[in-house]
Amino acid sequence: MTVALETRGLTKTFGGLTAVNAVDLSIQEHSIFSVIGPNGSGKTTFYNCITGFYEPDSGEILFFEKPMTGLPPDQVTARGISRTYQNIRLFANMSAIENILVGEHSRMRANWFEAILLTPRVVREEKAAVEKARQLLSFVGLAGLGDQQARNLPYGAQRRLEIARALASQPTMLLLDEPTAGMNPNETHEMTLFIRRLRDELGITIMLIEHDMRVVMGISERIAVLDYGAKIAEGTPAEIQGNPHVIEAYLGSGAASGIKPVARQLE
């Protein structure tokens, strides 16, 4: 198995606050990897470092063994990493299908001059892009809603559209930021199945930030736990559930000793 994404000593500080503190991770290709941690533990900052929104202060990011530390976001996308956002960030006034077409931007070539001339190549490219966007729409279960404005779609559909948009750039790795936030148990279950399909059918490596422990424990192969920016634990779901450091991070010191037996009983 090859390593898809690797970080070595990744650190990001804001003034005196170390948001991400020397994080080492390595994520296997075709795996589902979750990052968990209490609020403010640096998960989203970690994502922002990987996707080029922030430049890390030190450390390295390798994607399929090629360094990509400090690349701007558009280049990161071109390399094959795509992401979704904690609070949905669709292009609200554009139609669903246009959102996906924007996602295909980095895979299309037409420049302004060709676009004005409407060369046969541009026509072909555009046709293929729209066809692919339609396929992605039906893949995420939004067939027939393509001409709706993104902002008019129901919440769950917006989440799925955001994933479709991320998929449009043909990523080899997808970073999901709380994909089930604000969903009811039923929708959450569907999303869990959907994430697994992404990996099984499209072969995409998935990294996931998630607070819903049922989702995390249900679909992750490995889990890393961040607390105050530092990685405090990594392992399989079973290992993480029993890890006293993790329980301490979530429930406070002191709780760990008492909770531990309870946690065992639950298993």
Partner 1 sequence: MKTLFRNSLKTGIVFGIITVFLFLIGFTGTAANLLADLLHNESAGLFLGLTPLMLNTAIFLGLIGLWAGVSGASREQDIPGDPFGAAALGGAIAGVAHGLPVGAAVWLIGGLNEQGVAMSTYLAELLPAAVHQFLLGLAPMTAGIFYLLFLTTAGAAGGLLNRVLGRGSRKTRAAIRNRLRESVESLPVLQSLRKSTAGRYAVYGVLLAGLLLLPLVAGQYWNYTIGTVGIYVLLGLGLNIVVGLAGLLDLGYVAFFAIGAYAMALLTAPTPHHLMWNFWLVIPIGIVLAAVTGILLGAPVLRMRGDYLAIVTLGFGEIIRILSKSDDLSDFTGGPRGVPAVAPPDFFGLPINNAIGFVYLIFLAVLLVIFVTNRLQNSRVGRAWEAMREDETVSRAMGINTLLQKLLAFAIGAAFAGLGGALFASRNQFTGPEDFNLMVSINVVAVVIVGGMGSIPGVIAGALVLKGLPEMLRQLEDYRVMVFGALLVVMMLWRPAGLIPSSRRKMEIGRDAGLVETAEEGRGK
Binding residues for partner 1 (CB under 8 A)? 51-53, 72-74, 76-78, 82-83, 85, 89, 91-98, 101-103, 105-106, 108, 110-112, 115-118, 122-123, 125-127, 129-131, 133-134, 137, 144-147, 149, 165, 169
In angstroms, the first-to-last Cα distance of the chain is 30
Nearer Cβ to partner 1 (161/246): 161
Give the sign of the dihedral formed by CA 210, CA 215, CA 217, CA 222. Answer: negative
- Min dist. Cβ of residue 104 to partner 1 (A): 8
Contact yes or no for 148/95 (Cβ under 8 A): yes
Place of tokens 């902002």: 151
Between 9 and 73, name the residue whose CB sits nearer to partner 1: 73
Question: CB-wise, 96 or 206, nearer to partner 1?
Answer: 96
CA–CA distance, 263 with 247 (Å, rounded to integer): 9
Instruction: Find the shortest distance in angstroms from Cβ 86 to partner 1.
Output: 12
Determine the angle formed by the axes of helices 155-168 and 120-139, rounding to 10 degrees: 140
Helix, strand, or coil (residue 16)? coil
Q: Contact 154/89 with Cβ under 8 angstroms?
A: no
Asked if residues 145 and 137 have their Cβ atoms less than 8 Å apart, the reply is: yes
Which residue lies nearer to partner 1 by CB, 53 or 250?
A: 53
Shortest Cβ 120–partner 1 spacing (Å): 12
Q: In whole angstroms, how close is the CB of 233 to partner 1 at the nearest point?
A: 29
Q: Under a CB-based contact definition with an 8 Å cutoff, are residues 11 and 56 in contact? A: yes
Shortest reach from residue 235's CB to partner 1, in Å: 30
Q: Which is nearer to partner 1, 153 or 215 (CB)?
A: 153
Q: How far is the CB of 91 from partner 1 (least distance, A)?
A: 4
Residue 211 CA to residue 191 CA, distance in Å, equals 14
Nearer to partner 1, 60 or 126 (CB): 126
